[in-house]
Each structure stands twice: as C-alpha cells, then as structure tokens.
Amino acid sequence: MRSALQAPIGVFDSGVGGLSILKVLRAELPAESFVYLADTAHAPYGERGDAYVAERTRAIVRRLRDEHAIKALVVACNTATAAAIHLLRREHPDLPLVGVEPALKPAVALSKTGRIGVMATRVTLASAKLRALHDALKDQAEFVLQPCDGLADAIENRDPALVAALCARYTQAMGAFGTRPGQIDTLVLGCTHYAFAWDELAALVAPGTRLIETGEPVARQARRLLEANDQLAGTGAGGVEFVSTGSLTELQAAATRWLS
C-alpha cells in the first residue's frame, strides 16, 4: 500500500497547457509522483462563464481525490484558478493548493519602461482575482490587457498557422514593443497554453522584450507547501500518470512532444 508521502500531486488544466507547469514541477520536485488530468472534453475554459468553469474544476478535484488520493493539487490553469480557487480552499481545507495567476508582480519588478503587456483569456482578464491584482499594481506600471480569443484552442488543436496568425494579431493590437519610453518591454503570458507559443511570440516582439510565464514560481510554492506539511517524497524518481476526459492518446502525444 502506498504511503502518504508517496501519494501523487494532482495537476489539472482544461487541456495540454498545464504541461508547461508540469515540466517545471518535475524539475523542482523530481522525487514526486504526479497525476496530470486534462479536461479536454470540456475545453476551452477561457471563453466560458465563471459558473461553468467553477463547476468543472470542483468536479475534477473530487475525481482526483476519490480516484487518485492526491496529497496536493496544482491548478495549472489561469482561468480555473481565477474562477474557483477560493471555492476549493473553502471546500478542501486539508488539501494543499497552488493556483496560477498572470505574473504581474514579477513583470513590475523587471520592467524598465513601466509599460507591460498581458495576454490572457477573456475570462481571466474579467475575473475579480485579476482585477484585484491589477488594481494593487496600477500605480507602479501601466498594463495593456489583451484578451486572446481562440489562441489556447489553436494551441490545443496543434494548428500552427492559426497560432501564428493569432499571435501576430494580438501582439499588433497591443501596440509598440521595445525598450524606449512608452513601449511595452515586458510581456506576461497569462495562460499556461501560451508558453507553447513562446517562439512565435518572441519573434513578433522587439528585441529585448522580456516574456514571463508562471511555471517556476508555482513550482517553488508547491515545494514550500509540501515542506510545511511534511509531505515531501524521499529520494528516487517519481512518475506521471496521465488522465483525460477526452483523448488520452492525444494527451500522451502532447506530453511526449512538450515534456522532453
């Protein structure tokens, strides 16, 4: 029988975007086992309402606890974090939880021009969580908030032509990138899917523009919570079990492609 320390960490996203978080988690916590669940049958979340996303998130957490006995959970989806993390903390007070949010704070620390672009789903940008974060920082920088309808879905469906077209459309809509006053010198990728469009985005913005995603802070927070709860696994190499509400074959193919 598996001990409590050997129990897996659950990682959840609407699709394959959370693999970008899983990759960093595995590097930070190599002895841990993980269960990655992609809710692809109900994706994308980014253009649905909060109530729908919250109910799907709650259902997924119940499944991960009932079927996999997870010892901690990483909600590797900005939209699900914004819509439901407060509900999960109330309903699962015994479960260490880590959510993701657009990296506005690190962007403020890095930006020299004080003008920061934020690419995210429409639901994330409209969320109370993002608004509160924005309001707390708006005196320190100017944020250009860009909803990116369809981009996560295009990445999920492996449509490189559409990904390139949407990246070009949304970066152009945000205005001038660069290191001169008034230009955007820092771009926050506010959806875990967007890490998989890093090369496309980097090619579209001016040289010197910093791109920021959230994987490393999430992994560090996961380690801190496990240490605080005496839940860190011992030595050895952990594994990953993949679960999908859609095509498991497609999820495994994506994992092979993006986790290497």
Catalytic residues: 77, 191
Interacting residues of 26 by C-beta distance below 8 A, sequence separation 6+: 32, 34, 238, 240, 259
Distances (CA, A) of 154 to 3, 6, 163: 40, 36, 6
Measured between alpha carbons, how far apart are the two ends of the chain, in Å? 31
Q: What angle do CA 231, 39, 67 make, to 5 degrees?
A: 45
Distance CA(260)–CA(256), nearest Å, equals 6
- CA 224, CA 231: separation in Å to the nearest integer? 10
Which of 117, 252, 132, 260 lies closest to 184, judged by CA? 117
Taking a C-beta distance cutoff of 8 angstroms, is the pair 64, 12 a contact? yes
**In b/e form, how buried is each residue of 92-128, taking b as 16+ CB within 10 angstroms?**
eeebbbbbbbbbbebbeeebebebbbbbbbebbbebe
